[in-house]
Amino acid sequence: MGKKVRIADVTEVPEGSAGEFVAEERVIALFHVDQQYYAMDGVCPHAGGPLGEGSLTGSVVTCPWHGWQFDVTTGKHCLNERLCHPTFPVSVEEDGIYIELPE
């Protein structure tokens, strides 16, 4: 089990949107899709673009820098499923949204 870290209030990421947060010195992209929250590493592996600032269509985020696309529910790249971006378990508690980071 990893380290549980609070990253946001539930009001900070409305349904159908994304946000960028910092947890334990890591940039985290948090997405709210179909009444669920998903978290992934917020730095695009292609050129370091901010995935939390990308456009979200359904469960697909598009990096604002060069258009790389990932399914936020799995971390898989949309054109090459062998590319899988790190994701983190998310839980919602009374005082906010938490992610689990590896120790």
Confidence label for 1 from pLDDT (cuts 50, 70 and 90): confident
Q: Could you tell me how far CA 57 lies from the centroid of its own chain?
A: 14
Read off the pLDDT of residues 75-85 as tens digits, 9 standing for 90 and up.
Answer: 999 999 899 99
The per-residue pLDDT for 43 is 98
The per-residue pLDDT for 37 is 98
The per-residue pLDDT for 75 is 98
Hey, what domains does the chain have and what are their CATH numbers? 3-101 (2.102.10.10)
β 3-8/96-101 pair status: antiparallel
How far apart CA 42 and CA 85 sit, in angstroms, is 9
